[in-house]
Every structure is written in C-alpha cells, then in structure tokens.
Structure 1
C-alpha cells in the first residue's frame, strides 16, 4: 500500500513539474499561476498544495532537478575513470544531449523565450565550475578556468542551436557532432570566401 502511494505521489509531482515547464513556453515565471499548473497537470489545487507550498517552491525544485541531472549527464563519460582523452570518447558515452532532450520543454523555454531569466548564466556557471574542478590537462600553459569557460559557452551554444532547430537531430547525432568538433585538428585549413562590402 505504501509503495503504491509513493508511486502516486511521484506521478503527481512529476506531472506538476512537467506542467510548469510546458507553461513556461508561453508565459514568464511570474505569469504562471497555481491554477494554471494544476489545470495543465490535470489535478486540483489541493493536490498542488499537498506537494508544494508555493509556486516558487515548485519553480526552485524544477531548477534544482534540471541542474542536478545536467551535472550527472556531463560527468557520465568520465565518472569511473582517472584520466581520459575527450576526443577518444564513444558517442554513446556522451549523455549531455540526452539530458537536454529529457527536459526539452524547459530548454525550449530558456532558449526561445525570456521565461526563465538568468538560467543560461546559471547553466554555464555549473558546467564551468564542474569542468574546472573535475578535469586537469597535462599541459604547462593550460589554464583550466579559461578552458572550462570556453567549453561551457560552446556547449550551451550547440545546445541552443539544436533547440532552435526544434530538435531535428537525435541526441546520438548531436553527440557525434560534438566529438567531431573535439577531434578536428587544430591545423585544419579553412577556406575563406571572397570578401565583399555587401551589407556593410
């Protein structure tokens, strides 16, 4: 009986969180109401208040859930290693895009709207701090903080472009593309198109 009740509680909480994320695609955090969330989740207001004291408490838990899953997914390729070469990873070991796809309603809201102000900076900071703390390159001139800052912004840019394209590629394909970017030799030649003054 307790196990069934626990599953019911989990389903209700999940439904409320999902409803909140879906509503953010059309309105700001301030514009979302408890009634909106309850109706979207197909539960009554009383059920909402059984799980969350306020709308802000729900919002905070959604943010914490997404960021926690982000860090777990980011660390997945190297969680059981003492060292590794990023360019040698297998595409299947990269779980970051699986994470984004799991939370696609939320990422649509942060990329396509202004519903969740400040989350891009928060996400990049979490990635930057995780990378700087976890990863050390064996290069005398290597500055981990700068590399972590560069990589976190690059990952967000890649993610944002994927979201803007309405997830037209699979998470596995995005992982492959990330590896190609990591594996591209620094000495690769890039052709420069003839420059004109058009549009200047």
Structure 2
C-alpha cells in the first residue's frame, strides 16, 4: 500500500490540484471506466498541467490508491485510537459516503477489477488473524473481505438507502453470523 503524501495545510494550490484531479477522475471513470482513462484525460478535465499531476502522483493508479489508503487509515486508526471495530467500520463507510461517486464508479460495471481486487486484499489483510476459526489458508479473511466489498457495492448501487452507521452495523451483523457459524 502506498502512503498518502502529506500536504501542508497552508498549501492551497496542492490541495486544489488534488481536489480537481479527484473530481476529474470520478467523472472520467463514470464516462469511460478506469482502464480507458489516461493522465492526459485527467489533466485536461481538471484543467491542470501534466507537471502538476506528476508532482503529486506517479500515475492514475497512485491517485486512486491515495484515496483508498486514506479510507484504510481512517478505519484502522493508530495505536492511540480507542474506537471499537464497529466505530472504525462506520468511519470507513463515512469515507465511502464522502467519495460515493468514485467508489460506485470504481466498483460498478465500468469499474476496475484492479481496484476491486486491491480493496478485497487490503480488507482481507486487515482481518487476518482476528477471528475465531481463522485458518492458515486465509479462507475466512478472503470470504469476509468479499462480504465487506459486496456490502459496499450493494449500498452504493441502492443509492445509499441508509446512513453509513446503519449499513456498517448491518454488514457487521452479517459478518458476525458467518464468523459464528464457522466456529
């Protein structure tokens, strides 16, 4: 996982460039799908120079990774984070909600198998070793990650019919039921 590049709060130009590129990315994914989006398309749509793009990202995948890494960092927290797993999961859904157009585009019909796989792997890695019945072959984390992603996809495809906290709680109950049936 690449680390999000920190931006000094005072650097308005960098924050503006990144916001414009993110918005352009979402628009273009919705229109064409991630695989058909080029850096040139992004810079033209965002009305920023290629040099500005490359000062911030190595390629379009780095842009997508940064957004996803921010979501994972929100969910995982740090060693001083005293939130419960449920609160962290709700925070992850709040992030998804904030970028719902991008996630719906990346995980939808014109989406990116690369991104969906990356999300499943990151979520599986996060859950490895944390559940009863978790075996060395990785079956439980892999199945749970698939359930996490499908919960997100369902919620987005249904136009987010409930608040992030509710879908987080509903998906957590489903996942708990699977875990309990495995023990």
TM-score bracket for the superposition, by shorter chain length: 0.7 to 0.9
**Contact conserved, 1:16 with 1:48, CA < 8 A, in 2?**
no
- TM-score, structure 2 length as denominator? 0.73
* Residues in 1 aligned to 2:134 and 2:98: alpha-carbon distance in whole angstroms: 34
SS in 1 for 2:160: coil
Aligned residue for 1:26, secondary structure, equals helix
1:27 maps to 2:32: yes
Equivalent of residue 131 in structure 1, options 107, 123, 127: 127
- Between Structure 1 and Structure 2, which shows a larger proportion of helix residues? 2
Deviations 1:120-179 (A, max 9, x none): 1111011111221xx434x5x542622211210110111110011012221122122134
List gaps (5 residues or longer) in structure 1: 188-200
Indicate conservation of the 8 Å contact 1:98/1:171, yes or no: yes
How big is the shift at 1:25? 0.8
RMSD: 3.3
On the 8 A contact 2:40/2:50 being kept in 1, the answer is: no
Cross-structure match for 1:148: 141
Give the Cα separation in 2 of the matches to 1:175 and 1:109.
Answer: 20
Show CA shifts across 1:28-87 (max 9, x none). 33533556434543x2xxx32232249x934122222133123213324x85479x9xxx
Report the structure number with the largest CA radius of gyration.
1
Mark the runs of 5 or more structure 2 residues left unpaired by the alignment: 1-7
In structure 1, what is the equivalent of residue 76 of structure 2?
A: 75
Give 4+ residue runs of structure 1 displaced > 6 Å after superposition: none
The whole-number CA distance in structure 2 between the counterparts of 1:72 and 1:26 is 29
Aligned residue pairs: how many?
170
Deviation digits for residues 84-140 of structure 1 (CA, Å, limit 9, x no counterpart):
9xxxx47544312112112212211123223423221111011111221xx434x5x
C-alpha distance 21-79 of structure 1, shift in aligned 2 (>3 A):
farther
| 1:25/1:113 contact within 8 Å kept | no
1:121: which partner in 2?
117
